[in-house]
């Protein structure tokens, strides 16, 4: 594979490739606005709306930056996960008016990862003066933006999507230093449809990673098996026509060995197959 | 009048009080976001939506900051005013798709002074990456905010309303240095209802200023006249009861002089009246 050097990200050794993969999307999408909008000063208070792939990355990066993090979610059941496992400082149920009222005007910024339509007025209320609501979820329908609450305390609603290569490298280096990876579930290619169904139900913590390398190897092996079987049948016919029973048995044994090797998915299988076909 | 020193703005001598009055609203409301959002660097390109009281102040301040200014308006008729009189660099008719298309992605920021409901998507389109749409008009209904166009080029929609005392003083000092005043029409208090009707028709360039000082003086004189007439009638009754015809005529003449003086609105009228009543 040939890649322009300007588009290559160096992955430090301590980051596993699979758990690092989604940092290149969820990581940079949340790290970038935290940095760009200055929500990266220790002691600041940042809200994270939605605890999914983007949300859990936002919590990890914000915490690593020394920021106080409050997860805002519609699901009270996510509190334990947010606070105990991901290390958020507090948890707000967005449809609980009492909890929301107490938190009014306390946040320097909010990373809103929700891509479904949702009201932003309560979120704007959570912000301090000059607070920043950053939308990183791509809602399809336009949001209803109340103007007066923005005007009165000079608040900002902004959008942010991924980040440039330089910033992505900075994010990966920061993740390496802080030992941040995404929480993932590695799946083979043929699990994709099931994965899609589970995604709809938000049944993944927090990203599926498709193991393309092994999937391709398996697919290639499958293809090789087809060729093997074709050559096997062809040779069987030839040997039976010659009444070469010794040759017939040795071919069967040899091909059984190839079969076992291919099922084990050894990397040398392809070259063995190649030798066999050209013998 | 007693004012806490923290809330006093010093008006330099070269700024006339009447033409400076609306700077304390329209001036600071447009100057503040230009400064706060960094739209004050010479060579930048800033759009100003709506050419009213706020809009004309935005144009004046942005030009004084060395920024390239484009006025965006629904009224093609305002082009001459915007460009020739206020010194805007260019003019866009917001409902002309060709003009808008050419200007796409050219602006560092936009000061949107329109308080009526209006679509913001075309305005977001005018912004460069990282561009800032600043709403200073308080639309009553929520705006429809498309999320994806914000996300793709990390754009900001913000609100801003007036500014603090320190910033207001800085604005006045800047206005003094740059000889910026509001374009105004000075009216007496009793013109207010007509002024309101004209405001609805946007028939003012660009702010009415009510001359409270002179209005109050006239009102006070009217009140004094009532007292004068009451004392006149009372003394006439006394003199007629005494059959003092000489005193009666001299009182009539004296009061006619007071009447003329009061109609002329001299500042000494009140003290003359006071002497008369206590004679």
B273, pLDDT greater than 60: no
Inter-chain Cβ pairs, chain A and chain B, closer than 8 A: 88
pLDDT at A218: 67
Residue pLDDT, tens place only, A14-72: 999 988 988 999 999 999 999 999 999 999 999 999 998 899 999 999 999 999 999 99
What's the average model confidence in pLDDT over A256-269? Answer: 61
DSSP annotation of A169 reads H
State whether residue A148 sits within 8 Å of chain B by CB.
yes
Give the whole-angstrom CA distance, residue A160 versus residue A36.
10
Written as six digits, the tokens of A239 are 């040997």
State whether residue A119 sits within 8 Å of chain B by CB.
no
What's the average model confidence in pLDDT over A238-255? Answer: 74
Rounded mean pLDDT of chain B?
86
Q: Are B49 and B113 in contact (CB under 8 A)?
A: yes
Give the whole-angstrom CA distance, residue B45 versus residue B28.
20
Q: Are B47 and B109 in contact (CB under 8 A)?
A: yes
More confident residue, A83 or B243: A83
pLDDT at A51: 92
Architecture of domain A5-210: 3-Layer(aba) Sandwich (3.40)
Stated pTM of the model: 0.77
What's the average model confidence in pLDDT over B82-103? Answer: 94
When pLDDT is cut at 50, 70 and 90, the band that residue A262 belongs to is low
From B75, B65, B19, select the one nearest B45 (Cα to Cα). B65
Percent pLDDT > 70 in chain A is: 89
pLDDT at B262: 63
Residue pLDDT, tens place only, A70-95: 999 999 999 999 999 999 999 999 99
What's the average model confidence in pLDDT over B232-249? Answer: 74
Reported ipTM: the value is 0.74
State whether residue A63 sits within 8 Å of chain B by CB.
no
Residue pLDDT, tens place only, A189-201: 888 899 999 988 8
Are the beta carbons of B147 and A137 separated by less than 8 Å?
Answer: yes
> Nearest residue of B to residue A119 by CA position?
B142
What's the average model confidence in pLDDT over B50-66? Answer: 94
Domain spans in chain A, listed from the N-terminal domain onward:
5-210, 213-277
What's the average model confidence in pLDDT over A96-121? Answer: 94
Mutate to test the interface with B, among A154, A155, A160, A161 (most CBs of B within 10 A): A154
Contacts of B151 in chain A (CB under 8 A): 135-136, 138, 159-161
pLDDT at A231: 73
A239, pLDDT greater than 90: no
State whether residue A247 sits within 8 Å of chain B by CB.
no
Instruction: Centre a 10 Å sphere on the Cβ of residue B35 and count the other Cβ atoms it contains.
Output: 16
Peptide bond connecting A43 to the previous residue in cis, omega within 30 degrees of 0: no
| A63-91: burial string, b at 16+ Cβ within 10 Å, e else | bbbebbbbbbbeeeebbebbbeebebbbb
pLDDT at A15: 92
Give the whole-angstrom CA distance, residue A116 versus residue A143.
10
Task: Detail the DSSP E strand segments found in chain A.
Answer: 45-49, 68-73, 90-93, 107-112, 127-135, 143-145, 156-159, 184-187, 207-210
Rounded mean pLDDT of chain A?
86
State whether residue B25 sits within 8 Å of chain A by CB.
no
pLDDT at B121: 93
Written as six digits, the tokens of B1 are 């009048």
State whether residue B238 sits within 8 Å of chain A by CB.
no
Element at B242 (helix H, strand E)? helix B212-242
């Amino acid at each position: 594979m040939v890649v322009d050097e300007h588009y290559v990200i160096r992955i430090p050794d301590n980051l596993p490739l699979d758990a690092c993969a989604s940092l290149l999307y969820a990581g940079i999408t949340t790290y970038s606005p935290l940095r760009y909008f200055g929500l990266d000063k220790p002691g600041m208070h940042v809200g994270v709306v939605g605890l999914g792939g983007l949300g859990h990355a936002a919590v990890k990066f914000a915490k690593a930056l020394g920021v106080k993090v409050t997860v805002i979610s519609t699901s009270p059941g996510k509190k334990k996960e947010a606070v105990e496992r991901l290390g958020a400082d507090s948890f707000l149920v967005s449809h609980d008016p009492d909890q929301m009222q107490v938190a009014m005007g306390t946040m320097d910024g909010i990373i809103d990862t929700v891509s479904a339509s949702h009201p932003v007025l309560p979120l704007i209320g959570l912000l301090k003066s000059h607070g920043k609501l950053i939308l990183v979820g791509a809602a399809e329908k336009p949001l209803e933006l109340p103007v007066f609450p923005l005007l009165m305390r000079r608040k900002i609603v902004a959008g942010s999507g991924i980040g440039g290569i330089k910033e992505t490298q900075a994010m990966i280096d920061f993740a390496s230093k802080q030992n941040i990876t995404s929480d993932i579930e590695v799946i083979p290619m043929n699990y994709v449809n099931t994965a899609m169904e589970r995604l709809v139900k938000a049944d993944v913590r927090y990203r599926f990673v498709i193991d393309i390398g092994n999937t391709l190897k398996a697919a290639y092996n499958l293809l090789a098996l087809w060729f093997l079987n074709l050559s096997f049948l062809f040779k069987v016919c030839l040997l039976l026509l010659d009444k070469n029973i010794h040759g017939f048995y040795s071919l069967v044994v040899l091909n059984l060995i190839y079969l076992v090797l291919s099922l084990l998915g050894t990397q040398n299988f392809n070259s063995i197959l190649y030798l066999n076909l050209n013998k």
